[in-house]
Chain A
Amino acid sequence: MTDSTERWGKSVCVPGDEDREQERGSGGGLAGSMADVGIYMDNAATSFPKPEAVIEAMADFMRNVGASSGRGAYRKALEADKIVFRARQAVARLLGVADVSRVVFTANATESLNLAIKGLLSPGDHVVTTSMEHNAVWRPLKAVERTRGVTISQAPCAHDGTLDPADMEALLRPNTRLIVMTHASNVTGTVMPVAEAAAIARARGIPLLVDCAQTAGVHPIDIERLGLDLVAFTGHKGLMGPTGMGGLYIRGGLDLVPLKDGGTGGDSMLEHQPEWLPDRFEAGTLNVCGIAGLGAGVRFVLEEGVERIREKEAGLLRRLLDGLSEIPGLEVYGPRDPARQVAVVSLNVRGVPAEEVASRLDREYGIMVRAGLHCAPCAHRTIGTIQRGAVRISLGYFNTEGDVDRCVEALAGIARAAG
């Protein structure tokens, strides 16, 4: 306990780590103790800690199963198949998808977005996106602009990251082939009007691709009720799984050109990728260990309930925003309203570079946050921080009120010193 207390910094009131762990509550057991690592507030990058069931599922696969899925008739291979199916089924259930085969596994949301964008757009096509996108959307779009002559229009968002759907609709053209937008910004947490965008897209018969990297698992998503066409998600954030796992939902009747071709298992006589999903987009041996972890993570989220997770994170966010509003010398970006954002807040301390703030939070207070542009220069341009970047605090389901209070106190200390 002494070691970790020292890590929090002498100026901050630190209750016993045992109390903090009790307050954290796991609802299912946590892998690793937060007391060992400090206060983790970089959940928008990767969630931590993970439910114990995630580690157990991965270890069980590595120890006791070990086989490739879809590649054998022996029982261990069939067991691997079943692990993959049950994970796919859990994701489909969480995201509101009836046909499990429409959920395709990838390495991460970036691969999913690349598959959707590069698999759909042809020379001469036009695409509409927003000014709050992550590079996982922006760079594939710039790539097809350069290689295929695709044209891009960016709907302007307000300084807090909010989008007026009418501004998006005004950009549509007869050759608009795709609308791409994030569900929630990874910089400001701003939740985008996806339902309105879906209605606009449907009325024009244009597919809508939604980047749910920041929302899957922490904000309700009902794909079929909203009528979404393509939904990219990652497994290692709100879905509580390991890194290296993600996926893409592809609506029935919408075909994409696969990003990769290769072996898919039982249909080896075919000379091309099979037409049916998910095999069409899953060439090569799957990351079954990662899928086992993702499945356990999603089942954890289903058991806890997305509404409950969102409620807890919204409460922590409210506390954080209230605390930050009391600190002179802070610039806080985004809606500053838990009803309109996920638990991500970006800010700057006047007179102190973002990187220095993040570094001091870590070294002096044991609080882990991320500084810089967060792979989203579009978003930082929109909120006016493209030159200086920002400090991003992203809360998770396992953070506590105590964590939030210590973060606020730490920032108050840094702001006071910069005075």
Chain B
Amino acid sequence: MPFLEDIDIAFIEPCVTDPGRVRLYAEPSRDLAEVLPYLNAVINHATYNKDGPSLTFMKEFRLITIYPRRITMSKVQNTTDAWQVLDWLKDLINDTYDRRGSITPVHGVRWRPTALQIYGWLPRTNCKACGEPTCLAFAVKLLLGERTPQECEPLFFPEHASLRRAFFEIVAAFGYPAPPGT
């Protein structure tokens, strides 16, 4: 029997900010309070509020907040997308719960660099190769978990080796492992 058997969508409506997308809330079949600090440790870019408690993070373009008895999601493409992400989340929660013995729970808010700080450790070429208009925009997306360091091509140019090492020391703090050979 898994820790969490089901998550059911309880309410769905068009997004306030984006009429092409939907927001919803869903109800887990059991209380999630005890697993939140473990999820906080596992989801690298999450923000944890222990007084709520609640855990907020981005899954690509979707904003997800987990409360003990409720999960909210906004900017979801459609119900198919919602169910698919909720299935992924259920598996993540069950996997995290199963592995909790080997995970150090994080009860506090982790230190996170600001977008400007990350920007400072990027090559700042504004090359647009990552798909973002500027390096600052890339830094913001990185913080939100919508981009990965590997998408910054110039960062991996030989001339940026020392910058790259410093960059990965910093981003390791919010969970991105440095690629081999960095």
| Chain A residues near B (Cβ < 8 Å) | 69-70, 73, 75, 78, 81-82, 84-85, 88-89, 99-101, 264-270, 274, 276-279
Contact = CB atoms under 8 A, between A and B. Distances in A.
Contacts of B81: 101, 276
B78 A266 contact: yes
Given A85-B83, A274-B20, A267 B12 contact: no
A276 B21 CA distance: 10
Given A266-B22, A274-B20, A279 B78 contact: yes
Contact of A70 (B10, B21, B77, B78): B78
B18 to A, nearest CB: 10
Contacts of B9: 78, 81-82
Interface string B54-65: 000000000000
A81 B79 contact: yes
Contacts of B84: 85, 89, 99-101
Contacts of A276: 77-78, 81
Contacts of A267: 14, 19-22, 78
Q: Which of B11, B21, B81 is most buried by chain A, counting CB atoms within 10 A of its CB?
A: B81
A82 B10 CA distance: 11
A267 B75 CA distance: 12
Contact of A100 (B8, B10, B80): B80
Nearest to A80: B79
Among B11, B13, B78, B81, chain A packs the most CB atoms within 10 A around the CB of B78
Contacts of A265: 78-79
Interface in B71-109: 77-81, 83-84, 87
Interface in B1-35: 8-14, 19-22
Nearest to A269: B19
Contact of A78 (B12, B14, B21): B12
Contacts of B14: 266-269
Contacts of B19: 267-270
Nearest to A103: B80
A262 to B, nearest CB: 15
A264 B84 CA distance: 18
14 contacts: A73-B12, A78-B8, A81-B12, A81-B79, A82-B9, A89-B84, A89-B87, A101-B80, A264-B78, A267-B19, A267-B21, A269-B14, A277-B80, A279-B80
B83 A81 contact: yes
A270 B8 contact: no
Contacts of A277: 80
A279 B22 CA distance: 13
B78 A82 contact: no
A268 B21 CA distance: 10
A82 B80 contact: no
A82 B86 CA distance: 12
A131 to B, nearest CB: 38
B80 A278 contact: yes
Contacts of B21: 267
A391 to B, nearest CB: 43
A16 B169 CA distance: 78
Contacts of A270: 19-20
Contacts of B10: 75, 78
B90 to A, nearest CB: 13
Nearest to A277: B80
A238 B13 CA distance: 37
Nearest to B87: A89
A264 B78 CA distance: 10
A278 B78 CA distance: 9
Contacts of A268: 14, 19
Nearest to A72: B12
Contacts of A274: 20, 78
Contact of B13 (A73, A75, A101): A73
A109 B77 CA distance: 26
Contacts of B11: 73, 78
Contacts of B8: 78, 82
